Amino acid sequence: MIMSSRGEQAVQALSRFGELAWFKLPTEFNAAYGYAQVPYMGWRYAFPEEGVAQLIEAAVRALPTQVDWEIDRTRRNWVLVPTRVLREAHGLADPSFRDVVHSINVQDQEFCLKALSDFELIIQHLLRVHISED
């Protein structure tokens, strides 16, 4: 699998908190249609440790982001996604999730660009978060 440097950085950041068993990050730009896309990433740890999710959530909440973000842990894979997407799609399980993402991509480039800027900030922050060695 070929991964962008953004994807590599995201994997590196998440791997600091445990061994990744699965990871997915959509491209930030739709080359076919020429627009920026809402960033979100999904991942699963091979051996999720107690407190890791809370540590990542606290790190994301601490940042001065332009849009609100949430880590959805209602399913097997965790997903970091702008809160607006979850709200408009009524959660990840809803079949309309992809439609909502597509709709925002096409109709709200300003939101996409703000979220992409936030996403970069979040990844950089996760690369630096202090992890205590208990």
DSSP the chain: ----HHHHHHHHHHHTTS-EEEEE---SEETTTTEE----EEEEESSPPTTHHHHHHHHHHTS--SS-EEEE-SSSSEEEEEHHHHHHHTSTTSTTHHHHHHHHHHH-HHHHHHHHHHHHHHHHHHHH------
Question: Model pTM?
Answer: 0.90
pLDDT along the chain (134 residues), means of 10: 78 96 94 94 92 93 96 92 94 86 96 97 94 68
pLDDT for the residue numbered 68: 97
Domain range list for the chain: 6-127
